[in-house]
Amino acid sequence: MSARGGGTAAAVLAAFVLAGCGLNVQSADLFVLTRSGQGAQLTELVSDGGTIRCNGRAARALPDPLLLQARQLASDLDKDAKAKLHIPTRPATVYTFTMKLQNGTISFPDTAGAQHPELARAEQFALQAQGACG
């Protein structure tokens, strides 16, 4: 075999190895959002690959607009996660939310959205994404 042919074979082999490695790559999780309180508890695991798992069930496709919202939420809440934001519940609280992000966990009542628009968007996301769960 010539040196040129050996180089080509090595390149083809390397391509197969790299392609095989890619089959097991999984996207990172953006966050786990848990809603508790009156009614049934809801847990949503949102993956950057465009899937959502609700209450431990099988992963389902997350519509692109919701995936974009989830990515933006993860970015917007990163500073709060690093600071481990915790807003105590108030007597008027119906639901309590916990979000586990890459850099920490935040918790807040449903009444916190009035002062923190990003938390209101997290609550809205939980409701909209629940529809994607089926």
The pLDDT tens digits of the residues spanning 113-131 come to 999 999 999 999 999 998 8
Phi, psi of 30 (to 5 degrees): -80, -50
Within-domain flag for 5: no
Please report the pLDDT score of residue 134 as a whole number.
75
Please report the pLDDT score of residue 16 as a whole number.
43
Within-domain flag for 69: yes
Please report the pLDDT score of residue 120 as a whole number.
97
pLDDT band at 1; cut points 50, 70, 90 = low
Within-domain flag for 119: yes
DSSP string, 57-114: ---EEPPHHHHHHHHHHHHHTHHHHHTT-B----TT--EEEEEEETTEEEEEEGGGGG
8-49 residue pLDDT tens: 444 444 444 444 444 555 679 999 999 999 878 999 999 999
Lowest-confidence region among 15-19, 37-41, 51-55, 96-100: 15-19
Helix (H, G, I), strand (E, B) or coil at 56: coil
Q: Read off the pTM.
A: 0.78
Structure tokens at 112: 């916190």
Please report the pLDDT score of residue 14 as a whole number.
43
Q: How far apart are CA 62 and CA 88, in angstroms?
A: 31
Q: How far apart are CA 78 and CA 86, in angstroms?
A: 14
Please report the pLDDT score of residue 25 as a whole number.
56
Domain of 109, in residue numbers: 27-132
C-alpha 103: how far from its chain's center?
13
Within-domain flag for 15: no
The count of structural domains within the chain is: 1
Within-domain flag for 35: yes
What whole-number percentage of the chain has pLDDT above 90?
72
